[in-house]
């Protein structure tokens, strides 16, 4: 019985060797090609990772250099670096350069800066947080425009639960105060007070705003002119 088992085992091993040999003769080239592609793919992936890391490090150094130049008043040199990052830098630094460009434009032309922030808000490649930040910056630049309605509408949408809701509600409340709409201002300030995530610094400012709302509009009456005193009698 043991001899039979040994015989069958040897037959099975010979059969498997023959099958492997047949498979290798038929598909050996394909297997080698796949192995080469696998090795090349792993090598290419590692090369791409290293290239991305090097590009990010270079962009970080350039961004820091440009910020330092801007702080030192060398705006033209800083702008040249920022423009290069915006055109050819890694995705993250391109966005940072665009935000910086929009902020700089807003210093001299609010409408132009708001338009650049609008472009960032509509960029599908930016994350939701950055797009909301761009919407906020654009709305703040337009609050003092001749027609602030679009800015107020944008702030109201941001006040409905986004990470920037605190700033949006504060600005909406202050805008209402400026228009003399004390009840509306109070409603926005109440939302800030009721939000458990409101930053402590904003809660302290809300106390001041609430006092202004409670005081209501200030009525200024024109003072009546006092009758002139008679001239002194001279003898």
Q: Does the structure show a pLDDT above 50 at 203?
A: yes
Write the DSSP string, 8-52: HHHHHHHHHHHHHHHHHHHHHHHHHHHHHHHHHHHHHHHHHHHHH
Cα separation values, 88 from 81, 98, 102, 152, Å: 11, 12, 18, 35
| pLDDT above 90: percentage of residues in the chain | 34
CA-based nearest residue to 114, from 74, 156, 154, 142: 142
Q: Give the model confidence (pLDDT) of 73-91 as tens digits.
A: 777 787 787 777 777 777 7
H/E element, 207: helix 200-215
Report whether 97 contacts 86 (CB < 8 A).
Answer: yes
Higher pLDDT, 233 or 117: 117
Q: State the pTM of this model.
A: 0.65
Six token digits for residue 130: 């950055």
Q: How high is the mean pLDDT of the chain?
A: 78
Q: What is the pLDDT of residue 230?
A: 55
Q: Give the model confidence (pLDDT) of 21-75 as tens digits.
A: 666 666 666 666 666 666 666 665 465 456 556 556 776 777 777 778 777 777 7
Q: Does the structure show a pLDDT above 60 at 1?
A: no
Distance CA 96, CA 82 (A): 9
């Amino acid at each position: 019985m043991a001899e039979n088992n040994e015989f069958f085992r040897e037959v099975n091993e010979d059969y498997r060797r023959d099958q492997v040999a047949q498979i290798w003769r038929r598909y050996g080239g394909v297997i080698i090609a796949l192995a080469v592609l696998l090795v090349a793919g792993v090598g290419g992936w590692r090369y791409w990772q290293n290239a991305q890391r090097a590009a990010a490090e270079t962009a970080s150094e350039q961004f820091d250099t440009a910020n330092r130049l801007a702080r030192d008043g060398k705006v033209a040199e800083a702008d040249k670096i920022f423009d290069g990052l915006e055109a050819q830098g890694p995705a993250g630094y391109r966005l940072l350069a665009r935000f910086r460009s929009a902020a700089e434009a807003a210093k001299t032309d609010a409408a132009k800066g708001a338009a650049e922030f609008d472009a960032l808000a509509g960029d599908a490649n930016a994350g939701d947080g950055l797009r909301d930040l761009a919407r906020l910056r654009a709305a703040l630049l337009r609050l003092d425009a001749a027609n602030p309605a679009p800015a107020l509408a944008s702030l109201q949408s941001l006040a409905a639960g986004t990470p920037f809701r605190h700033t949006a509600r504060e600005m909406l409340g202050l805008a209402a105060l400026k228009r003399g709409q004390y009840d509306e201002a109070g409603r926005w300030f109440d939302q800030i007070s009721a939000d458990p995530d409101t930053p402590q610094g904003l809660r302290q400012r809300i106390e001041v705003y609430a006092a202004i709302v409670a005081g209501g509009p200030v009525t200024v009456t024109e003072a009546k002119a006092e009758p002139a005193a008679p001239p002194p009698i001279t003898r």
